Structure 1
Amino acid sequence: MKIKAIKTYICHAYRTNWVFVKVLTDEDGLYGVGEATLEYKEHAVAAACMELERTLIHQDPHQVEHLWHLIYRDAYWRGGPVLMSALSAIEMALWDIKGKDLGVPVYQLLGGKVRDAIRCYANGWFAGARTPEAFAEKAEKAVKQGFSALKWDPFGASYLHIGTKALHDALECVEAVYDATKGKADLIIEAHGRFDVPTAVRIGNELTRFGILWYEEPIPPQNLEGLAEVKRRVQVPVSAGERLYNRWEFRSLFELRAADVIQPDVSHAGGLSEVKKIAAFAEAYHLPVCPHNPSGPVANAATLQLAACVPNFYLLETMSNDIPWRRDVSTERITFNRHGEMEIPDLPGLGIDLVEEQILAHPYEARDLRHYRGTLTDIRPPEAGAYF
């Protein structure tokens, strides 16, 4: 069996555009799917995927480890979000081919199951909220959906510093959600790499009284030494890793003791095998892994395969709602059980396929980052709903 072509697809998904990949083989009907969604760099990452075609053409898709190193080595300008997201999608698709060819789920190829379902925390539950009361009301609805942990960024348009009123408003929002969900859900506070060190420390200390599960990416992701400093000076757990792109970058995170919770993204950090290696590294430090997972259906399917076979996988990030056409553009069928867990499918490969004609019905639309415009809650259209 040989690789014969690569195809890419960009699908509008309201807050961003999903980037999907197919790796085609010369065996009739056998191909693999992957996802390289890289917010606001969708065309760049799709082009990077296509540039890898000449490296992969006529190669054996079963040789996943060899092809990973071939792509990484021959890039010369190694690492970074564009190359690593393209490599991640291709690697996902190679595992999908291998699993389908052998008739087993990918998790079986990565060591077998340690669990049948994984507890989820909700992102996106706050769509459209503007006031503490609205956040509290939406939080109660998310808990009724079955979620036992909720994540959001309450910091408006702040960057590096935060004013007295903005901090008061953020803490008022956190307090409203805390009061509405007390004893029923853990809270996770996202900062999107916003703050400088003293501001991050000040906010972290203010959050102590809410008993949050973790404080996510409090400072810009390039400064791991600064992150370690924040972690030393606050009492709440600190998480990071969605903007680290391979095991070598995570090595520095571990050596600096810079985070309590590790968050690689299977679409950016090198794919399934690379995230499994990062998770094994975290396990040696007795740290939980909670992959960043706010993207599309193929990334979610791949992350579920890791949830099946990674012992220190703690929580799965899940969007509580999504665009109506999420159900149309793939064969994703999610089971969210009464325990607030997503069940892990047993279908061959990643257990998902793309529906090309439906993807083409939702072509690329330019979107800008919302984080510093005060429009963070404009994450979903009014017609959004649960996709599971």
Structure 2
Amino acid sequence: MNDEREILNNVRTASSPSDLKITDIRFADIWGAPMQCILVKVYTNQGLVGYGEVRDFADKRYAALLKSRLIGENPCNVDRIFRKIKQFGGQSRQGGGVSGIEVALWDLAGKAYGVPVYQLLGGKFRDKVRLYCDTDVSGKPDGKKMGEALKARRDKGFTILKMDLGIDLLYDIPGTLNGPLGFLEELVAAGEKHEHMAGDMDTRLKAHAAKEVTCVEHCRTGIQITQKGMEWLENYVSEARSVVGYDIPLAVDHIGHVGLTECIKLGRMLEKYNIAWMEDALPWHYTDQYAILRRAVNVPIATGEDIYLKENFKPLLEAGGVSLIHPDVLTSGGILENKKIGDLAQEYGVGMVVHMAETPVACMAAVHSVAATENVLALEFHSNDIPWWEDLVKCPFKPIVDNGFIKVPDYPGLGIEELDDDVIKEHIDNDKIPGIWESTKEWDTTFAHDRLWS
């Protein structure tokens, strides 16, 4: 009798998956987790709520425009809905709306059926997910200081590390960069230096005002690294390595907007420092240049966080342009599409590391996708220095990050019971929205002719 009662206690009698319908979608914009992040709530007719997230530094309208196409849909039909809405996504942050909604649909499907998302994807290949930890330091660039920061990450249990290494480190050092007169000064004045981590509103506004300057593609900037600059960067890496050691993988990111020849020079310099991978050195769509770069240097080459959908990874893989692919679940198309991308790369003998610089919602979406994908080395963690990061969610498996790994949860959906509105309110991005979970009724009935053929 006790066994029967225990079984009945685990049955979700409140959920009838076949009759589940989406009734509303709402958002909360926050800042500093570690970037500007947009949380998503998808409501249903049975009281179940699914959590998703729009890609960092995107806009909730990428997801809001999907609302009229989702109201009344059964969220458990994830693949069918994804095929219906994927035409409204695009590369980089434009993929954030479709991908974020896809995450919420999987969360709802898992909750409706009472199983973790990874189980709906075919099961898991691992019980815990290895993290690689991104590392930032404030103040004047200093290799030994970076090494100490990396060592602190290592001491916390992280087994793969990453640091920035690019031309922004050289902006204040005369004679290290060569470029069109006045252009570098514009970049600095615009707040391009460390713009990706800018937290104060003045810096963000400067960067926004200078978007025409900072959106020049690598091949058209005319920026070169001088011999002095290359020696400075090499010393920076050497000092960092001397502190953190050579026995732990160390990747580099944020190279800066320089062309192919500069990337080759930098890559060859890095060879002696056993770099795990050189990330996003060029725009992802320069397939031929990536193929040249990979063959010119003995450092693994990675890109992919700005690529939307599996088919857009294929040219790079076919050309032999990457050693590793590096998708972000909130751009690639979501949880299932990210798994498909990893499976595709495996066919070419190319491994996968997964980008993640968002809240615990996106993190757990990535964890389930990574758990269900064989071809994965590690998942990024970018919030080591944010004490309230885990407080954003209520879940039964805290700490989420433990000694450099995340245990794959066996709870329904993403494993997140609910979001903590009090913590969210403390970190609202007032530049975006005055409150949280406000009405999105204006998006209920928007219409367009969605068919892509005549």
Residue type at the aligned position of 1:63: N
> Contact between 2:135 and 2:149, CA under 8 Å: does it hold in 1?
no
Q: What are the superposed Cα offsets for residues 101-130 of structure 1, whole Å, 9 maximum, x if unpaired?
A: 111110000010111112221103545563
> Contact between 1:334 and 1:343, CA under 8 Å: does it hold in 2?
no
2:414 equivalent in structure 1:
350
The answer to whether residue 346 in structure 2 is matched with residue 283 in structure 1 is yes
Residue type at the aligned position of 1:179: S
Q: What is the deviation of 1:283?
A: 1.1
290-299 vs 348-357, which moves further = 348-357
- Deviation above 6 Å: which 4+ runs of structure 1? none
The answer to whether residue 98 in structure 2 is matched with residue 35 in structure 1 is no
1:89 equivalent in structure 2:
100
Taking structure 1 as reference, are residues 354 and 163 closer, same or farther at Cα in structure 2, changes over 3 Å only? farther
Report the Cα distance in structure 2 between the residues aligned to 1:350 and 1:129, rounded to whole angstroms: 40
2:180 equivalent in structure 1:
none
Residue 17 of structure 1, aligned match among 19, 25, 36: 36
What's the secondary structure of 1:32's corresponding residue?
strand
Q: What is the deviation of 1:85?
A: 0.7
2:429 equivalent in structure 1:
364
> Contact between 2:166 and 2:254, CA under 8 Å: does it hold in 1?
yes
> Contact between 2:34 and 2:382, CA under 8 Å: does it hold in 1?
no
TM-score (normalised: structure 2): 0.75
Residue type at the aligned position of 1:145: K
What's the secondary structure of 2:224's corresponding residue?
coil
2:82 equivalent in structure 1:
68
2:287 equivalent in structure 1:
224
The answer to whether residue 283 in structure 2 is matched with residue 264 in structure 1 is no
Report the Cα distance in structure 2 between the residues aligned to 1:192 and 1:61, rounded to whole angstroms: 40
What's the secondary structure of 1:150's corresponding residue?
strand
Residue type at the aligned position of 2:409: P
What's the secondary structure of 1:24's corresponding residue?
strand
Q: What are the superposed Cα offsets for residues 297-354 of structure 1, whole Å, 9 maximum, x if unpaired?
A: 111111110221111111111126233332332226344445x322211111011232
Q: What is the deviation of 1:228?
A: 1.2
User: Counterparts of 1:289-308 in structure 2 under 5 Å?
Assistant: 289-308=352-371
Taking structure 1 as reference, are residues 261 and 48 closer, same or farther at Cα in structure 2, changes over 3 Å only? same
Q: May I ask how many residue pairs the two structures share in their alignment?
A: 358
Taking structure 1 as reference, are residues 216 and 80 closer, same or farther at Cα in structure 2, changes over 3 Å only? closer
User: Counterparts of 1:40-51 in structure 2 under 5 Å?
Assistant: 41=58, 45-51=59-65
Q: What is the deviation of 1:222?
A: 2.9
2:158 equivalent in structure 1:
147
User: Counterparts of 1:305-384 in structure 2 under 5 Å?
Assistant: 305-319=368-382, 321-331=384-394, 333-338=398-403, 340-352=404-416, 353-364=418-429
Taking structure 1 as reference, are residues 14 and 365 closer, same or farther at Cα in structure 2, changes over 3 Å only? farther
2:237 equivalent in structure 1:
174
RMSD: 2.0
Q: What is the deviation of 1:363?
A: 1.6
> Contact between 1:6 and 1:53, CA under 8 Å: does it hold in 2?
yes
Q: What is the deviation of 1:290?
A: 0.5
Residue type at the aligned position of 2:50: G
Unmatched 5+ residue regions in structure 1?
Answer: 368-388
Report the Cα distance in structure 2 between the residues aligned to 1:174 and 1:246, rounded to whole angstroms: 34
How many percent of aligned residue pairs carry the same amino acid? 31
Residue type at the aligned position of 1:342: I
1:135 equivalent in structure 2:
146
Taking structure 1 as reference, are residues 211 and 83 closer, same or farther at Cα in structure 2, changes over 3 Å only? closer
2:27 equivalent in structure 1:
8
> Contact between 2:30 and 2:36, CA under 8 Å: does it hold in 1?
yes
2:7 equivalent in structure 1:
none
> Contact between 1:48 and 1:86, CA under 8 Å: does it hold in 2?
yes
1:377 equivalent in structure 2:
none
Residue type at the aligned position of 1:65: D
Residue 276 of structure 2, aligned match among 213, 217, 221: 213
> Contact between 1:150 and 1:185, CA under 8 Å: does it hold in 2?
yes
The answer to whether residue 68 in structure 2 is matched with residue 54 in structure 1 is yes
> Contact between 1:188 and 1:214, CA under 8 Å: does it hold in 2?
yes
TM-score (normalised: structure 1): 0.87
Report the Cα distance in structure 2 between the residues aligned to 1:294 and 1:129, rounded to whole angstroms: 23
Residue 125 of structure 2, aligned match among 114, 123, 129: 114
1:381 equivalent in structure 2:
none
> Contact between 1:20 and 1:35, CA under 8 Å: does it hold in 2?
yes
What's the secondary structure of 2:346's corresponding residue?
helix
Q: What are the superposed Cα offsets for residues 220-274 of structure 1, whole Å, 9 maximum, x if unpaired?
A: 2231221111111111110110111111211111111110111110011110111
What's the secondary structure of 2:351's corresponding residue?
coil
Taking structure 1 as reference, are residues 192 and 18 closer, same or farther at Cα in structure 2, changes over 3 Å only? farther
Unmatched 5+ residue regions in structure 2?
Answer: 1-19, 171-220, 433-454
Q: What is the deviation of 1:164?
A: 3.0
Report the Cα distance in structure 2 between the residues aligned to 1:182 and 1:326, rounded to whole angstroms: 29
Taking structure 1 as reference, are residues 83 and 198 closer, same or farther at Cα in structure 2, changes over 3 Å only? closer
Report the Cα distance in structure 1 between the residues aligned to 2:54 and 2:356, rounded to whole angstroms: 12
Q: What is the deviation of 1:193?
A: 5.6
> Contact between 1:193 and 1:220, CA under 8 Å: does it hold in 2?
no
Q: What are the superposed Cα offsets for residues 166-199 of structure 1, whole Å, 9 maximum, x if unpaired?
A: 3222221111121122244111011356321100
Q: What is the deviation of 1:365?
A: 5.3
270-279 vs 81-90, which moves further = 81-90
> Contact between 1:17 and 1:365, CA under 8 Å: does it hold in 2?
no
Residue type at the aligned position of 1:242: E
> Contact between 1:123 and 1:294, CA under 8 Å: does it hold in 2?
no
What's the secondary structure of 1:35's corresponding residue?
strand
80-89 vs 172-181, which moves further = 80-89
